[in-house]
A = this chain, B = another copy of it.
Amino acid sequence: MNDLTLEIAQDVPALMRGLGQRARNAAAELAFAAPEAKRRALEAAAEAVMARLADILAANAKDMAFGRDKGLSAAMLDRLMLDADRLKGIVDGLRAVAAQDDPVGAVITEWDRPNGLHIQRVRTPLGVVGVIYESRPNVTADAGALCLKSGNAVILRGGSESFHSSGVLVDCLRAGLAAAGLPEDAVQLVPTRDRAAVRELLTMTEFVDVIVPRGGKGLVGLVQTEARVPVFAHLEGICHVYIDRACDPAMALKVVLNAKTRRTGICGAAECLLIHRDVVDTIGQGVVRALIDAGVEVRGDAALQALPGVVPAQDDDWGREYLDMIIAARVVEDIDAAIAHIRRYGSSHTESILTEDDAAAARFFQRLDSAILMRNASTQFADGGEFGMGGEIGIATGKMHARGPVGAEQLTSFKYLVTGNGTTRP
């Protein structure tokens, strides 16, 4: 831990301001980099990752040892761990982002005015993005790549557990930038594990344009109280699945099981099942039995406790994010009661209605205002890659600027370009 002691001895505010100034300078240059140069940088970064597989695995072994010493849970260690397969995923991700259309300069809309002015609204980068995340080193590559694609400089502040792995991945991204003649400082990793760095990042309004926090409740709380820089809020994923009266039983079974059990630790996993009272004894019963058979603990309301294996739900089971093989389940009178439950307990992340009734689906889509509303699909699709964005920097649950999976496009703003012919205003 010698290097950690050294790091803490540094002047963190000065260190962070230095990073901020370098990011600001790099952003000014990257903002009008040619799309081809950014594409080359991302491909060169992918090649660098391939070339440095052994270094990355060695760095990751150091991080894993540190994590074990620190007593990280098995789930946390799994998130931290890199192997050949996961590195291939990182390389594929970099190449997918490279191949995407460049959002910068794209004309979002344009129109003519009666006085002859032609107005275009075109995409422009945000500037400098700060990303604060926890243990997963692949976020380093995803966030770096998406910021680069969208012409933004990025300051990455990964969890202390992934410090070495992220360091080598950032080296690869910077090597890619250098190979394409772009400023390396467009991607920087905070070079200290000192927590004071997070506070600086959250308050450096002159150097950072937006913060993307990815992490648990502790991080989100810190960000909400401390941030002076705008934030793409990423709250919990308290995702609901509602089985409507007019629902196909086989589909319900398949989708609910997938939504809950495919992976329980992601924010798109279903946490609460709502069942229309008319189908409790038919579809509902079958789905609950299948969940229990699959090893899920079903915490049901009074109406469901008659079913074998159902555990009584407590008040605090509504609106709870388990991230585990547990689901809350409740019977509702009708679709409006389902909507009311979701409005009260949801986190505006993702909800799915299972129904063959178009009017019910339309009502669900119109009256709820989560970032993602689904019909006859698993909530586990709440993901930038699954949306076709080639990755995501996070899933925004707020409504300002970005919402849902945040890909390169949502890391841009826009400006108006107005062309006249000597046009003056009367």
Q: B399 and A400: CB pair below 8 A? A: no
A307 within 8 A of B: no
For the complex, give the distance between the alpha carbons of A416 and B425 in Å.
Answer: 40
A170 within 8 A of B: no
Instruction: Report which of B126, B262, B424 forms a contact with A258, defined as CB distance below 8 A.
Output: B424
Known: A372-B418, A400-B400, A418-B372. A425 touches B381 (CB 8 A): yes
Tell which of A3-11, A68-76, A181-189, A248-256 binds the partner: A248-256
A369 within 8 A of B: yes
Known: A400-B230, A403-B415, A415-B370. A422 touches B388 (CB 8 A): no
Q: A373 and B418: CB pair below 8 A? A: yes
Q: A254 and B375: CB pair below 8 A? A: no
Q: B378 and A423: CB pair below 8 A? A: yes
Report B-chain residues with C-beta under 8 Å of the C-beta of A370: 415
A346 to chain B, nearest CB (A): 13
Q: B255 and A32: CB pair below 8 A? A: no
Q: B377 and A420: CB pair below 8 A? A: yes
A66 within 8 A of B: no
Which residues of A in the span 377-421 have a Cβ within 8 Å of any Cβ on B? 377-378, 380-381, 386-388, 399-401, 403-404, 413-421
Known: A111-B388, A377-B420, A400-B413. A425 touches B262 (CB 8 A): yes
Residue of B nearest to A404 (CB): B416
Q: B425 and A413: CB pair below 8 A? A: no
Report B-chain residues with C-beta under 8 Å of the C-beta of A361: 419
Q: B373 and A423: CB pair below 8 A? A: no
Q: A418 and B262: CB pair below 8 A? A: no
A360 to chain B, nearest CB (A): 13
For the complex, give the distance between the alpha carbons of A151 and B233 in Å.
Answer: 22
Residue of B nearest to A266 (CB): B425
Q: B255 and A422: CB pair below 8 A? A: yes
Instruction: Report which of B127, B367, B421 forms a contact with A32, defined as CB distance below 8 A.
Output: B367
Which residues of A in the span 74-130 have a Cβ within 8 Å of any Cβ on B? 105, 111, 113, 117, 119, 124, 126-127
A382 to chain B, nearest CB (A): 9
Q: A113 and B372: CB pair below 8 A? A: no
Residue of B nearest to A376 (CB): B420
A154 to chain B, nearest CB (A): 16
Which residues of A in the span 265-297 have a Cβ within 8 Å of any Cβ on B? none
For the complex, give the distance between the alpha carbons of A344 and B31 in Å.
Answer: 17
Q: B372 and A416: CB pair below 8 A? A: yes
Residue of B nearest to A113 (CB): B388
Instruction: Report which of B105, B375, B377, B418 forms a contact with A381, defined as CB distance below 8 A.
Output: B418
A19 within 8 A of B: no
For the complex, give the distance between the alpha carbons of A31 and B403 in Å.
Answer: 17
Known: A369-B124, A386-B113. A425 touches B378 (CB 8 A): yes
Which residues of A in the span 155-172 have a Cβ within 8 Å of any Cβ on B? none
A210 within 8 A of B: yes
A410 to chain B, nearest CB (A): 10
Q: B416 and A371: CB pair below 8 A? A: yes
Q: B124 and A424: CB pair below 8 A? A: no
A308 to chain B, nearest CB (A): 26
Apart from A117-B377, A370-B415, A378-B425, 14 more pairs, CB < 8 Å: A31-B369, A250-B422, A251-B421, A251-B422, A255-B423, A258-B424, A371-B416, A373-B417, A374-B418, A374-B419, A376-B423, A377-B419, A400-B401, A401-B401
Closest 5 CB pairs of A and B: A377-B420, A258-B424, A251-B422, A399-B413, A401-B401
List chain A positions with a Cβ less than 8 A from chain B.
28, 31-32, 105, 111, 113, 117, 119, 124, 126-127, 209-210, 230, 248, 250-251, 254-255, 258-259, 262, 343, 361, 365-367, 369-378, 380-381, 386-388, 399-401, 403-404, 413-425
- 11 residue pairs A–B, Cβ–Cβ below 8 Å: A28-B343, A126-B399, A230-B230, A251-B421, A254-B422, A374-B417, A376-B419, A377-B422, A378-B425, A381-B425, A386-B425
